[in-house]
A and B are shown apart, each in its own frame.
Chain A
């Protein structure tokens, strides 16, 4: 059992509880001990950097300072959210790289009686630790229910492989770490061409049309490749592809229904954990049917509130066939 310093990030406590639960469930059998940083604060996502650079880095660095204080001999922070991971890594990188900048941030930290020694801690994402520290052999040892027959599109998003200050991934645009992990679980892994393209990030809140376009690219590409499940490593990606899939469908008059899960949820299934304890049922597009392919019964999400159907004027006509219906039928 090796211990790591753990920075969960805000989403894990609200919109991505499924990620939190499944991370906890898979880390234990892999021998990853997680010591949560006490009294951590939000990393500021991409928002604080847009407003005010120095306070933004100071906000991030308070977490690094807390981690250093509480490290107890550990040297690695694990952050499972890509945005948190990049922010922590970025602050450490620039404080180390640019000494004057590092001093400025430490001057701000000193106002709260804190200090961080740049370069003292390594900031890593859980995926990287599982692949490069724990190793795939250990993962395979734990697989009791191989995911055979499940076609998975591995989706990493942007902030994990780029800019990759620590040079931990095989490529900045088409890395294979997640593919190798899913293969070790016995799944049928799709070589997903858009695996590091953008999910739209905060554009759902700023320029929805732009966001829907970006979500559509990913979902329609996955659909054309007969994907059963898209797997993500980031709460923001999961939220955009899953919770906004319905609004994207409305926008483009399509009818895609591809479940989007966290990689740890599928690891948990392969490790024989109960679906209930892995946060299944909290997704908008139900994964229950896809998961039934590996003979696991997963809880379905709560039903949507019934929407009153509009009465169509004129004679009753069969519904129009959309382009999507054709491609889906042809593919299956």
Chain B
């Protein structure tokens, strides 16, 4: 991050520098030009959001919080995890901010802040061990992150997604009380849709894919 710091005015106050670092970090980690620093606080994003009622903060608030350098508050918010990737905000934003892509970046950062005990893309434990951080493990949506992790754990093992296995593992882990209600659907998946309860066949290039992903992870953290 030294390059980020060096572009900042050395005469600005510490707080201001911290603010800019957060905004710049989000911008640098989002592919393309996200325009994340261009928000004019019009609120079109929140007003367009179909899942906004389930969010701790509207997307507009998130952009204000990013600008204010409220790192922990942003990374504790469930807002990115409640984003359904519908892109309504993205196409409506008058400042052309790639809001959905920024939400992906914030999810990445939120997980990274909780990382020490959490290898990415492996079946996750239920509790997060955290040190020296005000990131609150309970204050965001672990169900969402867990769903992504289980999904990708399967993709990294088979090269394909495994819908029935994913739904099974995830619901047993997070929605045990919902299982009676889910059962007719699970049976329907087999009888109506003719889905196989077995894992998919591994792709041939599994080794190759593994090497590509390994290198990508190194590049991500470098």
Q: Are A101 and B31 in contact (CB under 8 A)?
A: yes
Residues of B within 8 A of A304 (CB): 184, 187-188
Question: Does B50 touch A at the CB level, under 8 Å?
Answer: yes
Q: Are B51 and A203 in contact (CB under 8 A)?
A: yes
B82's partner among A47, A94, A207 (CB-CB below 8 A) is A207
Question: Does A143 touch B at the CB level, under 8 Å?
Answer: no
Question: Does B172 touch A at the CB level, under 8 Å?
Answer: no
A163's partner among B90, B144, B152, B213 (CB-CB below 8 A) is B90
Number of interface residues of B (CB under 8 A): 75
How long is the Cα–Cα vector from A97 to B214 in the complex, in angstroms?
24
Question: Does B189 touch A at the CB level, under 8 Å?
Answer: yes
Interface pick from B37-45, B58-66, B67-75, B201-209: B201-209
Chain B's nearest CB lies how many Å from the CB of A73? 23
Considering the complex, which residues of chain B in the window 196-220 have a beta carbon less than 8 Å from any beta carbon of chain A?
Answer: 196, 200, 203-205, 208-209, 211-217, 219-220
Instruction: Assess A206 versus B193: contact at CB under 8 Å? Given A10-B161, A244-B185, A305-B184.
Output: no
CB nearest to A66 among chain B residues: B205
Chain B's nearest CB lies how many Å from the CB of A178? 17
Question: Does A70 touch B at the CB level, under 8 Å?
Answer: no
Q: Are A51 and B185 in contact (CB under 8 A)?
A: no
Chain B's nearest CB lies how many Å from the CB of A123? 16
Q: Are B31 and A53 in contact (CB under 8 A)?
A: yes
Question: Does A284 touch B at the CB level, under 8 Å?
Answer: yes
Question: Does A324 touch B at the CB level, under 8 Å?
Answer: no
Q: Are B121 and A52 in contact (CB under 8 A)?
A: yes
Question: Does B195 touch A at the CB level, under 8 Å?
Answer: yes
How long is the Cα–Cα vector from A302 to B86 in the complex, in angstroms?
33
Consensus secondary structure, chain B interface: helix
Chain A's nearest CB lies how many Å from the CB of B155? 5
Chain B's nearest CB lies how many Å from the CB of A194? 10
Q: Are B31 and A58 in contact (CB under 8 A)?
A: no
Instruction: Assess A48 versus B148: contact at CB under 8 Å? Given A41-B155, A101-B31, A162-B86.
Output: yes
Chain B's nearest CB lies how many Å from the CB of A78? 19
Question: Does A114 touch B at the CB level, under 8 Å?
Answer: yes
Question: Does A57 touch B at the CB level, under 8 Å?
Answer: yes
Instruction: Assess A53 versus B171: contact at CB under 8 Å? Given A41-B209, A47-B148, A198-B84.
Output: no
Considering the complex, which residues of chain A in the window 272-319 have a beta carbon less than 8 Å from any beta carbon of chain B?
Answer: 281-284, 301-302, 304-305, 307
Question: Does A11 touch B at the CB level, under 8 Å?
Answer: yes
CB nearest to B106 among chain A residues: A50
A10's partner among B196, B200, B216 (CB-CB below 8 A) is B200
How long is the Cα–Cα vector from A72 to B181 in the complex, in angstroms?
49
How long is the Cα–Cα vector from A172 to B211 in the complex, in angstroms?
38
Residues of A within 8 A of B111 (CB): 51
- Which 5 A-B residue pairings sit nearest by Cβ, starting from the closest? A111-B215, A162-B87, A108-B216, A58-B216, A54-B220
Q: List 15 A-B contacts (CB under 8 A).
A: A15-B193, A44-B152, A52-B108, A54-B217, A59-B209, A59-B212, A113-B208, A158-B85, A201-B84, A205-B143, A206-B141, A206-B143, A206-B144, A301-B188, A304-B188
